[in-house]
């Protein structure tokens, strides 16, 4: 007997117990029927919960349960204009997931990107302690074949460091990238 049939039988039992309880005149019999009624109600609630869980399993796993773990995004590119710093995250098939699976949070001195359930994993990039403030209200994300995060500069500094951990910057009014001593970098 499947769960739906068991629920149907328990509902019929409950109805009959209620009918018997109304007809019972003796106190001891009424109490026995009330106890049995509580047992059946409890079993019915359990079967309904079991039916809901079974329906959820058959509907398929949710996005949150499919993604088993989170990986840190370490490969990215960035560029800057007078007003924005653009961060490019090249993740295969990011454009195929729902837009709500890409979350970007901005504060005055940080931002984070969380891409949920992309090929069975969550992908995350967090940059804390930006050396220059950003305009968190004007910053935004754009998902196309890549995930682009556009961070609006609060002011227009010619140099924009990501953070103390990413000290590569563009030297203004030249075509040169400058790396601190001991840091080797490749700029494409």
Domains held by the chain: number: 2
- The pLDDT value given to residue 97: 87
| Domain presence at residue 183 | no
- The pLDDT value given to residue 163: 56
Output the tens digit of pLDDT for each of the chain's 188 residues: 788 899 999 999 999 999 999 999 999 999 999 999 999 988 988 888 888 878 877 776 554 445 568 899 888 888 888 888 888 888 888 888 888 888 898 888 888 899 988 888 899 988 877 777 888 888 888 888 777 777 777 776 655 555 545 544 444 444 444 444 444 444 33
29, 80: one domain: no
| Domain presence at residue 186 | no
Q: Considering 59, 80, 98, which residue would you say is the last residue of a domain?
A: 59
Instruction: Provide the CATH number for the domain around residue 128.
Output: 2.60.40.790
| Domain presence at residue 90 | yes
- The pLDDT value given to residue 61: 56
76, 43: one domain: no
88, 161: one domain: yes
108, 169: one domain: yes
| Domain presence at residue 172 | yes
The tokens for 148 are 């682009």
29, 116: one domain: no
Q: Considering 31, 59, 87, which residue would you say is the last residue of a domain?
A: 59
- The pLDDT value given to residue 8: 92
82, 171: one domain: yes
127 within 8 A of 109, measured Cβ to Cβ = no
| Domain presence at residue 55 | yes
**Comparing C-alpha atoms, which of 68, 63, 76 is closest to residue 102?**
63
Q: Considering 39, 59, 79, which residue would you say is the last residue of a domain?
A: 59
- What span, in angstroms and rounded, lies between the C-alpha atoms of 133 and 148? 19
**Comparing C-alpha atoms, which of 4, 3, 2, 30 is closest to residue 17?**
30
Tabulate helix, strand, coil % of the chain (nearest 5): 35, 30, 35
Instruction: Write out pLDDT tens, residues 125-171.
Output: 888 777 778 888 888 888 887 777 777 777 766 555 555 455 444 44
9, 49: one domain: yes
Give the domain extent around 14: 3-59
- The pLDDT value given to residue 30: 93
């Amino acid at each position: 007997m499947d769960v739906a049939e068991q629920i149907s039988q328990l509902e019929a039992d409950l109805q009959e117990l209620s009918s018997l309880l109304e007809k019972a005149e003796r106190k001891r019999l009424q109490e026995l029927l009330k106890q049995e009624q509580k047992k059946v109600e409890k079993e019915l609630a359990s079967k309904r919960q079991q039916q809901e869980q079974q329906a959820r399993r058959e509907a398929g796993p949710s996005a949150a349960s499919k993604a088993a773990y989170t990986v840190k995004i370490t490969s990215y590119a960035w560029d800057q204009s007078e007003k924005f710093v653009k961060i490019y995250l090249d993740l295969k098939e990011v454009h195929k997931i729902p837009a709500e699976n890409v979350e970007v949070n901005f504060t005055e001195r940080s931002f984070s990107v969380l891409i949920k359930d992309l090929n069975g994993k969550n992908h995350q990039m967090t940059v804390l302690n930006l050396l220059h403030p950003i305009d968190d209200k004007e910053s935004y994300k754009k998902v196309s074949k890549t995930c682009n995060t556009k961070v609006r500069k609060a002011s227009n500094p010619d140099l924009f460091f990501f953070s103390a951990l990413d000290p590569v910057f563009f030297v203004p009014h030249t075509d040169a990238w400058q790396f601190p001593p001991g840091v080797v970098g490749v700029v494409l």
